[in-house]
Amino acid sequence: MARRLPSLNALRAFEAFSRHGRMTLAAEELGLTHGAVSRQVRNLERQLGVRLTTGPRNQLTLTETGLRLAQATTRALELVEAALPDGAVTGDPQVLQVSCQPTFAMKWIIPRLPAFVAAHPDTPVRIVESNGPFDFEADRIDIAVRMRAAGDLTSADAEVAPFMDHFIGPVVSPELARSGLDHAEALLAAPRLHTRTFPAAWSDWAAEAGLALSPAAVNREFDHYFYMLEAAAAGLGVAIGPWAFVQRDLAAGRLVAPLGMISAPARIAALTPKAGMRPAARRFLKWLLEEGAATTPPAGVQ
């Protein structure tokens, strides 16, 4: 007799969400988009005719029915995993997983990635967006790109390879710059843009620049660096932009840096497991080091 089961893909997506509590983290684990996981969960609810989650979309929690199903599904998948033969290949071992901050991936890695793909067409690369801690083995990460303080370039569980210096400075739209925001006093009085992922950006820049930073008359906060930089390009105010994030926008004229850039006491580094790397990871690390060395620093760095 045929089993009465819903879509196994939908069950797998729901189980991953139930463990992580967030669609984004479930998507990272499964190699899917946030929207794909969300659709799978909604599809499962439609198939079963019950609500498995409740609450606003950005704060979903499990219903009582959802919790029971999640616990049962997790136990079932654990039994299947335990029954797999030793050494069984359950995924694509050739996919190279690189963990990095979303804006760094969007503004620095991805625009350069075609060169790596052309040189290594048999090495597929998956960019995993993450700002926080990670586990090489549990998260199946080959390389993690992180910002490291200049005095913190060692790690107990990772090899740390700095590949690019870090520069920061205020950036603003060309239109705002032409309206008079071309000197320090005017810039510091303008609406100040912030990102939740790094709220200390303005104070860190002021400290390095040797400037006293008075409270802003207007503050505007955004969830991610990318949103904040787009807000700056749209003329909503002034943002502190890392050189790696804004270099292409400055070259294209979407942003200007009236005060230039200053060197910050940090390096952008690639972290790899101390236990060793796969050949694909070694190729990607070599490419990162070469691309970092080839990245032109900002002119007139103070």
Same fold, 8-82 and 167-263: no
pLDDT of 52 over the 90 cut? yes
What contacts 136, CB < 8 A, 6 or more positions away? Answer: 142, 144, 157, 158, 273, 275
Report domain 96-164+266-294's class. alpha beta
Q: Check residue 67 and give its pLDDT.
A: 93
Report domain 8-82's class. mainly alpha
Task: For residue range 20-32, list pLDDT tens digits in order.
Answer: 888 888 887 776 7
Q: Residue ranges of the domains in the chain?
A: 8-82, 96-164+266-294, 167-263
Report how far residue 188's alpha carbon sits from residue 83's, in angstroms, rounded to the nearest whole number.
62
pLDDT of 182 over the 60 cut? yes
pLDDT band of residue 88 (cuts 50, 70, 90) is low
> What's the token pair of residue 203?
């104070």
CB burial string 24-46: b at 16+ within 10 A, e below: ebbbbbbebeeebbbebbebbbe
pTM of the prediction?
0.67
Tell me how far CA of residue 128 lies from CA of 30, 54, 70, in angstroms.
11, 27, 25
Q: Hey, which CATH number is domain 167-263, 3.40.190.10, 2.40.50.100, 3.40.50.1100, 1.10.150.20?
A: 3.40.190.10
Span 15-23, average pLDDT: 89
Task: For residue range 188-237, list pLDDT tens digits in order.
Answer: 889 999 999 899 999 999 999 998 888 999 999 998 899 999 999 999 99
Report how far residue 182's alpha carbon sits from residue 171's, in angstroms, rounded to the nearest whole number.
10
Beta bridge partners of 272: 159
Task: For residue range 259-272, list pLDDT tens digits in order.
Answer: 999 999 999 999 99
Q: Where is pLDDT greater, at 95 or 227?
A: 227
pLDDT of 167 over the 80 cut? yes
What contacts 172, CB < 8 A, 6 or more positions away? Answer: 181, 187, 190, 232, 237, 238, 239, 255, 256, 257, 258
